[in-house]
A and B are shown apart, each in its own frame.
Chain A
Amino acid sequence: MPELELEAFTCERDDSPLFEPLDLAIEPGEIVQVAGPNGAGKTTLLRALCGLFTNWKGRFSWRGNVLRRPNFDMLDQMLYLGHHPGVKRSLTARENLQWYFGVQGRVTPDKVENILAHVGLAGYADIQCQNMSAGQMRRVALARLYATYASLWVLDEPFTAIDVKGVEHLENLIENHAAKGGTVLLTTHQALSIPSFRTVHLVPFVQGQL
């Protein structure tokens, strides 16, 4: 059974579709890159799958359940990292991570120091994020990936503000996650150096075809 299945799926703005209707089936263990020119609706598509954008047409199912909005089980299995990843500047890295897992209804799975060590932030646990650089703040958000329970990752431009070594590390993590049967859906402007991934191209919808 595919993890995610889209049939004739498109997002609408101002009563017209953003991209040509999409048919897509993503199996567990797949890495899918959503590509397309600026304004083709990459972010909107990811947000629609997360239930954050509701003005879409078509059919959408998760593990065989046709859904209008992600249900409890799907949200429980899902991790979304958007342009603004939800890291509060006045909180410390520790408080941010504990809040993230708490909001998901989970206890933080590992010691915060261990999780942060994965993203090169060992010793930063009790520093307020407003005292960190943009890249470091981004890493606090990415640290979730090293400890999450979720199997479906939806990552919008995860490599923004990350240095070369960090990108390599993150690519390894994504590969490992897929190897364990997890699914990753991502957008990026960088070339991915992951050996096996699939690219889905969004074709901007041209007016006057209907």
Chain B
Amino acid sequence: MSEMNLAQSSLSLALWINLKREVIVAVRHKGELANPLMFFLMVVVFIPLGISPEPKVLAPLAPGLIWVIALLATLLSLDGLFRSDYEDGSLEQMLMSPQPLAIFVVTKILAHWLMTGVPLTLIAPALGLMLYLPAEGYGAMLLSLFIGTGSLSMIGAIGAALTVSLRKGGLVLSLIVMPLYVPVLIFGASAVTSAVGGDKIGLEIAILLAMFLTAMLLAPFAAAGALKIGTDA
């Protein structure tokens, strides 16, 4: 095997083995997996209690509320993204790998999305029912959350990487990530609102996709750079 081929095959090996590990670890910590979902559900129960149980009041708020809560639930799950690997030294071993750190970051983001964003998307219809989201909104909600939570995981990974070595990084993490979530929130919630109002949602979905692809190109490298900075002590 030529040197080039060897490097390529070992790259895919490293990528695959890390993804496998992420999934195994996540499945063994079922509690942590369920936490964002529980949070999502609980806040939704709070809303009628705090505002009004009237369908007339809740229905117009539903698209935005579901998006805001999904965003907060994602934020809640970010703190642990690199923390345990930093604490047990796995992160050092990834840094010491001949393979680029960005590929490990990609697997971690992918696993985070599969374990947080996708389940959030899947239970969102139930929450839509509880908040009287009109029937026209469900398709747009599923689609926008599916794409949007991917961007949330990627942007959030940068924040999680920047705060990985801070003892009380959780609050700073929320502070630095939340403003960066604004465009995703605007276009995600607006896609659902437009669908409810009977409008086309092509523009919103296209922009969400464009943000997703841009984040995919830049976020793994930014997060890898941040991890190198955060562990350089």
- For B93, give its contact among A83, A86, A89, A98 (CB under 8 Å): A86
Contact B89 A86 (CB under 8 A): yes
Contact A80 B96 (CB under 8 A): yes
Contact B97 A103 (CB under 8 A): yes
Number of residues of chain A lying within 8 A (CB) of chain B? 33
Contact B98 A104 (CB under 8 A): yes
Contact A86 B232 (CB under 8 A): no
Chain A residues, CB < 8 A from B205 = none
Contact A99 B21 (CB under 8 A): yes
Contact A75 B97 (CB under 8 A): yes
Instruction: Indicate the member of B11, B17, B29 with the most A CB atoms within 10 Å.
Output: B17
Contact flags A6-43 to B (C-beta < 8 A → 1, else 0): 00000000000000000000000000000000000000
Q: For the side of the interface on B, what is the size category?
A: 20 to 34
Chain A residues, CB < 8 A from B94 = 103
At the interface with chain B, which of A45-53, A113-121, A180-188, A201-209?
Answer: A45-53
- For A103, give its contact among B7, B17, B29, B87 (CB under 8 Å): B17
Taken together as a complex, chains A and B put the C-alpha atoms of A80 and B17 apart, in Å, by 20
Chain A residues, CB < 8 A from B18 = 99, 102-103
Q: Enumerate A56-110 residues with CB–CB distance to B below 8 Å.
A: 72-73, 75-76, 78, 80, 82-91, 95, 98-100, 102-107
Main secondary structure of the interface of B (DSSP, over half): helix
Minimum Cβ distance to chain B for residue A12 (Å): 12
Instruction: Indicate the member of A52, A54, A75 with the most B CB atoms within 10 Å.
Output: A52
Contact flags B1-43 to A (C-beta < 8 A → 1, else 0): 0000001001101101110010011001100000000000000
Minimum Cβ distance to chain A for residue B52 (Å): 44
Contact B24 A91 (CB under 8 A): yes
Taken together as a complex, chains A and B put the C-alpha atoms of A197 and B42 apart, in Å, by 62
Whether A199 is near chain B, meaning CB under 8 Å from some CB there, is no
Whether B88 is near chain A, meaning CB under 8 Å from some CB there, is yes
- For A89, give its contact among B11, B13, B24, B88 (CB under 8 Å): B88
- For B96, give its contact among A73, A75, A91, A128 (CB under 8 Å): A75
Whether B95 is near chain A, meaning CB under 8 Å from some CB there, is yes
Question: Which chain A residue lies CB-closest to B232?
Answer: A54
Contact B233 A53 (CB under 8 A): yes
Contact B17 A52 (CB under 8 A): no
Whether B214 is near chain A, meaning CB under 8 Å from some CB there, is no
Taken together as a complex, chains A and B put the C-alpha atoms of A90 and B55 apart, in Å, by 45
Minimum Cβ distance to chain A for residue B80 (Å): 13
Question: Given contacts A72-B98, A99-B18, A106-B10, is CB(A90)–CB(B90) below 8 Å?
Answer: no
Contact B97 A84 (CB under 8 A): no
Minimum Cβ distance to chain A for residue B171 (Å): 25
Whether B231 is near chain A, meaning CB under 8 Å from some CB there, is yes
- For A52, give its contact among B7, B14, B95, B97 (CB under 8 Å): B95
Chain A residues, CB < 8 A from B233 = 53
Whether A172 is near chain B, meaning CB under 8 Å from some CB there, is no
Minimum Cβ distance to chain B for residue A117 (Å): 23
Contact A84 B98 (CB under 8 A): no
Closest 8 interchain pairs by CB? A105-B10, A102-B17, A84-B89, A86-B89, A86-B93, A75-B98, A86-B90, A90-B28
- Pairs A–B under 8 Å by Cβ, sample size 13: A50-B92, A51-B96, A52-B95, A52-B232, A72-B98, A75-B97, A80-B96, A86-B90, A86-B92, A87-B88, A88-B88, A99-B17, A102-B16
Which of A's residues lie within 8 Å of B, judged by CB?
50-55, 72-73, 75-76, 78, 80, 82-91, 95, 98-100, 102-107, 128
